[in-house]
Amino acid sequence: MTKPTPSSTPPTDSLDDLRERLRRFAAERDWEQFHTPKNLAMSVAIEAAEIMEHFQWLTAAQSASLDAVARHEIGHEIADVLLYLVRLADVLDIDMVAAAREKIGLNAHKYPVRGGL
């Protein structure tokens, strides 16, 4: 587990910044004991289902033309998934941006662009 290094300036990268805020948030509330990888993995899945709830009975077309209120609510659900995901990667000491770039590379190889592009 990486430990936060005290710093006077906040990180400039948005994911680094969220990671630092979440570390502090958990530490201040003594919640690190609950943040096992297993519990955080469950939390990501639970919040992912809450995003889905907004789309459960919508047609594909309806899901693409939501009003501002719905988009604001869904933004909060997306945020919840992101926050638990950042926290999960942090407690596992995984660089998720590096992993994501690696995955895009693997997918580009798996699904090559056809034609003359």
Residues engaged in binding its own copies (CB under 8 A) = 12-15, 18, 21-22, 25, 28-29, 34, 36-39, 41-46, 48-60, 63-64, 66, 71, 74-76, 78-83, 85, 88-89, 91-97, 99-104, 107-108, 111, 113-114, 117
Closest distance between its own copies and the C-beta of residue 21, in Å? Answer: 6
Nearer to its own copies, 5 or 111 (CB): 111
Q: Output DSSP code: residue 111.
A: S
Helix (H, G, I), strand (E, B) or coil at 94: coil
Closest distance between its own copies and the C-beta of residue 80, in Å? Answer: 6
Closest distance between its own copies and the C-beta of residue 77, in Å? Answer: 9
Q: Quick one: which of 28, 25, 27, 22 has its CA closest to 88? A: 22
Nearer to its own copies, 5 or 56 (CB): 56
Q: Quick one: which of 6, 4, 22, 3 has its CA closest to 14? A: 22
Which spans in 1-117 are helix H?
Answer: 14-28, 37-53, 60-63, 68-91, 96-110
Nearer to its own copies, 7 or 13 (CB): 13
| 50: phi then psi, degrees, rounded to nearest 5 | -70, -30
Closest distance between its own copies and the C-beta of residue 40, in Å? Answer: 9
